[in-house]
Structures are given as C-alpha cells and as structure tokens.
Amino acid sequence: MTMKPKSGHQAAVQAAQDAGASVRTYVPGYPITDLAAALEAEISVNEKVALEIALGASTTGRRALVVVKQMGMNILADPLVISATHTIGSGLVVITGDDLGPRGSQAEMDSRFFGPLAELPVLDPSTPAALHASILEGYTVSEWLRIPVIVRVTARLLADEGPEIQPRPSRVGPLNIDRDDWDLTMRGRHQRHHDRIVAFAEEASESSTLNRLEISGNVGIIASGRPAALAQGLGVSLFVIGYSNPLPAKLLRRFIDGHRMILVAEEPEPFIESHLACGSKILGKLTGHLPRGPLDRSDIVRALEGLKEPVKSRPTVYETVAERGYEGVCEGCPFIPLFRALGRIDVPVAGDAGCAIRATREPYQSVDVVYGLGSSVGVASGFSSKGIALVGDFALAHSGLQGLINAVWQKRGVLAVVLKNDVAAMTGGQDVPDLTGLLEALVPTVRLQLPAPEDEVQMLLIEELKRSGPSAIVATGRCRKHFSSKASPGTCLKDPQG
C-alpha cells in the first residue's frame, strides 16, 4: 500500500477530526485562510468573537478550535488572558498563523510571546506530523489544566509535506465548567494558577514526546518550529523542543551544560534565546549569528561555520517595495474613481488593512496612514479637523463600527467612506454582513454607486466634509476578483504590500 504524504494543512484537519473538535471558528487572513476552509470553520466578525464562541462551546462540553492569523491574537487577547485563570470546560485550542517576512500582514509578529503574556502553553511544531501531535496534545493539556492551549503555525509549515499520519482518535466525554471556582477571588485564582496550573504545564513541557534529542559532538542546536526541521542532519547535536512556553528548563539546562557552544535556531524573534542568554556559549539572533525574521537552512549552516569567529557587522539593507514587487489596485476596480478623488482632496485620510491599503502609493496616494483592520474611523476621529476614514465593509464589521459609535457619542467630526463590495476581498472573498441600515441609523449616510465620474465623486466628498459631526458615504462596487455573490473561501489573496 502506497503511503501518501501529508501536508501541514491535512495534518491539522486530521487532528481536528481525531480530537472531535465540533466547534471551529476563524477570521480570514494570511496564512490561515486555506486552513480554515479545509477545516470547514465558521467565519466570525472578529477574533475576539471567534474565541468567545469557542469559550461558550467549551463551557458546555464541546471541544473547540479557533484559527486566526498573528494580528488576530491582538484582538482576542482580552478573553484569552482572562480564560487562563477563569478555567474552561472541554478542550480549546487556538491555532495562530505567523506571517514571517510578512507577505499579507502589516507587521511581522511572533505569537509565542502570547504564551508568557497570557500564562498559557504554546506549542511550536516543526513538521506536519508534529503539528498533528501538537494539536492532540493541546487538547489533552487543555482538559487536564482547564485552560486554552496555543499552537503556532507558519505558511511554510502548513505547505510542508511529511509521511502519512495514522488516525489517532482521542475523543473524550464532555467536560463542563466548574462553578466552584467562583469561591476564589481574582487574586486567589491567579495564585492558584501559578501554584498549580503553571507548574503542571512545566511538567507537561518537560515530559512531552514532542521533544526530540540527538547527540553528536560538543556543539548543539536548540530549535523549535520549522527551523528545527531545517537543522536536521548538520552533524551536530540537536534538541527540538515541543513547547515554546513554558520551556523545558531542566532538559535545556542539561543540554546546554553538555555542550561547548549552543546555537538557538528560531523565527522570527529570539524568543527562546532571550530566556537562555546567560553566557558566551549561547549564540543566535541576539549575537548576530542568525538573522532576524524567517530562517533558511543556509542561515543555520553559515552560523555553525562562523561560531568560533567574532560576528562581523553587516551593512543594513532594508527591503523595498520595488525589490519585492507590488500589485497595487486591481485593474478595472470600480473604486478607482474614489481613490483618485481622495488623492486630490487636501484632507487627511486614514485607511484600513484591505483593499484601501493598496491605494497608499502612486498613482493614487489617497491614503495617508494605516494602523490596522478597522482602525481608520477611530484614527480619523482624532484628526485636528474633519477628515476621512476609508474603511472596507468587513473592516467596519470587524472593529470599525466601535470607532463610529464613539464618534457619535463624543460628537467627533469624521467622514466614514465605506468600500462596500460585500466580500472580504483580500482574504478569499468570504461574504460579509451588510451594515448599511445600521450606518443610516447612526449617522447621516449617502449612497454612492461606483464606478462613477471622478469629478462627481470628489464633489460628493467635499460636500460631506462640510457637514458637521460624523457622517458616512457607502460606496458600492462589484469586486472584479469575486464575481459571484459567494466566492470560494479557499482562495487566499495575499497583499504583497503587507
């Protein structure tokens, strides 16, 4: 019988099936959109809601899975941190996709830092097989300690292929929330978390079968995530750790003590190295032996060859748009007249992650600042005079609506221009909620059908800017990339601008 290789995507799907994760939620974004589609997860309006649904499922005895990209971890941090000490019911795993050397994100992030922040376990698998095992272990630890568990993935891990993985059903009976916890104060819960939960998590990290040790000589590599796979077969000792948080401190100490020099291979930040930097024998990103960001095997080989030599300073070269390439606004986009008109108006314009971010550069230059998905309305509310917030319809639903509510509440002048194409165009064309009626109930709202003559669009913008207080224009156009009303959620359109 021929064994078929398994990709990271397939390994995660099989793990969710093996674990019996019946409630699966997600918010689209690179690099996890395709994974969420394969998992048949339900789209949520934002990551906080996605996690809250999963918490509700957990408290009533259903295993849950949340899939988000790195930036989404910022949005769900509030309930995530609280859930660590307030306990849960059945197992809950959060898969976070880090966009390394960001191709579809506004910033490069390292989701492992949410482990110590929330005081929760973070598993960092290196291969598809390890991803499958990590998700299953995540559910086991989650139900043992009654806390969510984070599993970090990257685009390269999800695309990697490995040996076929045999099914390992690990379903258990429903576990409901323990109401006896309300006998403790918030301080008492945190004390118990440190005394018991953190200690047990450390025990799980030390004893995990996800740890792998190979001894060869007096030089060693400590690695997690995909760099652990890249470090195989280099003729030195290798310690692959399964948990980035908590680290297996005792195993690490023995490994470090048994070697003359240690190279820490991880990406994108020196998370593990920063915990181990206790002497000249620990080398990695902090010492300049490895570059920041994603790693290639050649980076590790070069670092091993230069361990005995002092690191030479290298000229800093920053990646440019011209070097990497930039798609810009799609040809025939119905919103082009709007982008051009915005570029001709002398008022500040705050944009959002999504289609609007592509109008930041020539030939449009219609957006001045972009700080995050759904942020444009709040940012524009802080301008010294009435300015414009250019927000997509999904971004408005995600978190932009709160900024508009605040503008109404505090009587701030802002013109919200909503790009209404009825899809999350940058992340796969998923349907989004129509909030036009809600906008009309909140603020004076004008509808604009695009494409339209550029001069007419500019005149409308100028007239609405004269209106005092908050107001809105709903600009409707049909996305050329998604002609049907419901495009396939499996298509992930990456924004090379990031």
DSSP letter string, 260-290: SEEEEE-SSS-HHHHHH--STTEESTTTTSS
Average pLDDT over residues 163-168: 91
Indicate whether 251 and 192 sit together in one domain.
no
pLDDT tens per residue, range 195-253: 999 999 999 999 999 999 999 999 999 999 999 999 999 999 999 999 999 999 999 99
Indicate whether 274 and 344 sit together in one domain.
no
pLDDT tens per residue, range 53-85: 999 999 999 999 999 999 999 999 999 999 999
Residue 487 lies in a domain: no
Indicate whether 274 and 200 sit together in one domain.
no
Indicate whether 402 and 448 sit together in one domain.
yes
| Residue 318 neighbours by CB distance under 10 Å | 5
Question: Which comes out higher in pLDDT, residue 490 or 438?
Answer: 438
Residue type, 153: V
- Residues 324 and 336: their CA atoms lie apart, in Å, by 24
pLDDT band at 311 (very low <50, low <70, confident <90, very high): confident
Residue 417 lies in a domain: yes
Which residue range(s) make up the domain with 117? 6-207
Residue 354 lies in a domain: yes
Average pLDDT over residues 417-435: 87
Indicate whether 342 and 275 sit together in one domain.
no
Indicate whether 241 and 101 sit together in one domain.
no
Which domain CATH number covers 225? 3.40.50.920
Q: Does the pLDDT value for residue 470 go beyond 90?
A: yes
Q: Does the pLDDT value for residue 2 go beyond 50?
A: no
CA quadruple 75, 469, 382, 447: dihedral sign = positive
Q: Does the pLDDT value for residue 287 go beyond 50?
A: yes
pLDDT band at 326 (very low <50, low <70, confident <90, very high): low
- Residues 277 and 263: their CA atoms lie apart, in Å, by 11
Indicate whether 82 and 158 sit together in one domain.
yes
- For residue 259, what are the CA distances in angstroms to 238, 263, 330? 11, 10, 55
Q: Does the pLDDT value for residue 182 go beyond 90?
A: no
Residue 498 lies in a domain: no
Which domain CATH number covers 468? 3.40.50.970
Indicate whether 423 and 441 sit together in one domain.
yes
Tell which of 305, 328, 350 closes a domain.
305
Residue 327 lies in a domain: no
pLDDT tens per residue, range 256-267: 999 999 999 999
Q: What is residue 483's predicted lDDT score, i.e. its pLDDT? A: 53
Q: What is residue 5's predicted lDDT score, i.e. its pLDDT? A: 66
Q: Does the pLDDT value for residue 165 go beyond 50?
A: yes
Indicate whether 15 and 159 sit together in one domain.
yes
Indicate whether 359 and 259 sit together in one domain.
no
- Residues 393 and 354: their CA atoms lie apart, in Å, by 10
Overall domain count for the chain: 3
Residue 489 lies in a domain: no
Residue 313 lies in a domain: no
Indicate whether 280 and 349 sit together in one domain.
no
Residue 435 lies in a domain: yes
Indicate whether 123 and 167 sit together in one domain.
yes
